[in-house]
Structure 1
Amino acid sequence: MGKKRSREDGKEAPPGDADAGADKMDRDSSDEAGHRSQAADFDMVDVEFEWFNFDPETDFHGVKSLLRQLLDVDANLFNMSALADLVLSQPTIGSTVKVNGKATDPYAMLTVLNTFEHREKEPMKDMLKYLVDKAQTNDSLSAIPRLINGGNHVGLVLSERLINVPPEIGPPMYSMLMDEVEAAVEDKEPYEFTHYLVLSKTYREVESTLDVEDRKRKKAKETSSIYYFHPEDEVLHKHAVAHGSFRYTREEEAVADSKRAFQEMGVKTFGHMILMEASKLEGAVEAINAYLSPPQ
């Protein structure tokens, strides 16, 4: 793995509670520790990931693309450029993960925004209305509107990565985010949250409708099983006050067949929210590290 600079130039970001995989981030780049990913019938590929602070000069398009992927079909409800700019306006909080140096597009990102601090800015105002409206469609998420409308300082966590990026990059990102928020609070910056609200997504497999003649144009049937794009979400559930999924506003525009990947079943995506008390973050990060960090 590569290194990420901290809030002060010239220093490396602390790995926090991450285990072997993240600990190696403190070492020289010559001490290479690439993650390996493998798909059936494909060769092993060594990839060295590098962690960076957000950079408005190089990351706008990459961050905008990842945010659009996170919001799925509902991305068009928002000014995505403005949302990307808001993320990039706080370069010392959160991380991007890249492969070929700082000037390339990120493969993954993680950040947190203060919902109260930015409440009057267009992208946050639109996002808060959206989250409140969606939370009201699921009784499991009923605590979220009360917190947001009550003027609480809630940290909105935005995390996304390309579909083929291994989940092992998650633990270092969360560890660094926790350390950066702690440092920001010490510097009297507005990151002292009462809760964290993680915006994520889930999916269900549905019967494909590609072969319409054979299937007589039968409407795709949803299965009951829920799957997670981000495996760490299941860990966060154990530390959460509330969690639940919601339907996208523009879900009819989604085409499950287009998301098939060498399988017979299509995919139907849903939005997902996880609400966690700020005091639970440290334990949650430790659990994510234990669950996802690569073996030594």
Structure 2
Amino acid sequence: MAKRKSERDPEDLPDASEKGKQADDDDSGSDEDMDMVNVDFEWFDPQPAVDFHGLKTLLRQLLDVDAQLFDLSQLADIILSQPLLGSTVKVDGNETDPYAFLTVLNLETHKAPRQDKPVIRDLTTYLSRKYPTLAPLLPTQQIGLILTERFINMPHEIVPPMYTMLLEEIQWALQEKEPYAFTHYLVLSKCYSEIQSQLPSNDAPPSKKKNKKEADEETFYFHPEDEVLRKYGVGSATFEYDTPVDEGASDSKRAFQELGVKPKGHLVLIEANKFEAAVEGVKSFLNGQ
């Protein structure tokens, strides 16, 4: 298959200069001048020659403290072994590290003994334990595991093009008889809950708000699209990581707020016939429609 991605935004994502102009118009009476950074985002196929270390960094961020349980080098190699499926987002050309990525892996194909990919078997066992609904589906269904992550300061507008291109790439792959006839998609992501801080404020002891098991640990999403995808899923799960962390870890992740932040894993299972509608839902939500 030929390379398909444009090096420029396929959905005309407004750049920072346009947003800056609007901000200048809105704040024309302000006494302070704002410096705007003009950034052009570029979409590429995964590049085996340059993306290995960048993908490992993003995978480590995606799997959080449990990243140490998996062979991330092998997982990055698997992603790079299918360079015409999935996307990376960069800002300084193809030879730089990705700031975001999205791909899909066939759990059945990669865990087959002849493929010799222990990391997929480890990941499948891990996810089945975190989401027991998955286990009975694995022997009879084709599950596509969607892995996606981005740096925290990346605008969410980069997400719809990645999902749109993934849909197109899967269709092209199917035309060439490649093993991507999925019955379900399993989206692995992260969420968090807010928990009582262990640190006292400067003027008062730790707040007693949000007792009752931290207000039942309301779930918040690092990626806003996950809340949309969940609406189209047949099921979802929020799970604790296996790796223990220090008592003050949640406080180390808070920023200018009273409560600590406790990251967790998040899974959404979507039937293949609902996936295109889910992508359209993400596009509408993130594009403000």
Q: TM-score range by the shorter chain?
A: 0.7 to 0.9
Q: TM-score, normalised by structure 2?
A: 0.84
CA distance in 2: counterparts of 1:79 and 1:212, whole angstroms: 41
Higher relative contact order (Cα pairs below 8 Å, separated by 6+ residues): 1
Quickly say closer, same or farther: Cα 1:251–1:200, change in 2 above 3 A: farther
Displacement after TM superposition at 1:217 (Å): 12
| 1:131 alignment counterpart | 127
CA contact (8 A) 1:116 1:151 kept: no
Across the aligned residues of Structure 1 and Structure 2, the Cα RMSD in angstroms comes to: 2.7
Quickly say closer, same or farther: Cα 1:249–1:233, change in 2 above 3 A: same
Task: Specify the code of the residue in structure 2 equivalent to 1:156.
Answer: L
Matched, 1:49 2:41: yes
| 1:279 alignment counterpart | 273
Quickly say closer, same or farther: Cα 1:231–1:217, change in 2 above 3 A: closer
CA contact (8 A) 1:14 1:179 kept: no
Quickly say closer, same or farther: Cα 1:225–1:45, change in 2 above 3 A: farther
Q: TM-score, normalised by structure 1?
A: 0.82
Matched, 1:159 2:148: yes
Alignment partner for residue 81 of structure 1, among 68, 73, 77? 73
Question: CA-to-partner distance for each residue in 1:186-230, whole Å, 9 max, x for gaps?
Answer: 110011101000001110112222349964799x96343211011
| 2:166 alignment counterpart | 177
CA contact (8 A) 1:98 1:105 kept: yes
Matches within 5 A, 1:1-296: 7-9=1-3, 11-12=4-5, 22-24=10-12, 33-35=14-16, 44-120=36-112, 121-136=117-132, 142=133, 144-148=134-138, 150-211=139-200, 215=205, 222-223=214-215, 224-253=217-246, 255-293=249-287
The structure with more radius of gyration: 2
CA contact (8 A) 1:209 1:215 kept: no
- In structure 2, runs of 5+ residues without a counterpart are 24-31
Question: CA-to-partner distance for each residue in 1:67-101, whole Å, 9 max, x for gaps?
Answer: 11000111011111111111111100000001111
CA distance in 1: counterparts of 2:153 and 2:91, whole angstroms: 13
CA contact (8 A) 2:196 2:207 kept: no
Displacement after TM superposition at 1:262 (Å): 2.7
CA contact (8 A) 1:13 1:176 kept: no
- In structure 1, runs of 5+ residues without a counterpart are 1-6, 16-20, 26-32, 137-141
CA contact (8 A) 2:191 2:265 kept: yes
Q: Percent identity?
A: 49
SS in 2 for 1:238: helix
CA distance in 2: counterparts of 1:52 and 1:12, whole angstroms: 6
Question: CA-to-partner distance for each residue in 1:138-166, whole Å, 9 max, x for gaps?
Answer: xxxx2x11112x24210000010001111
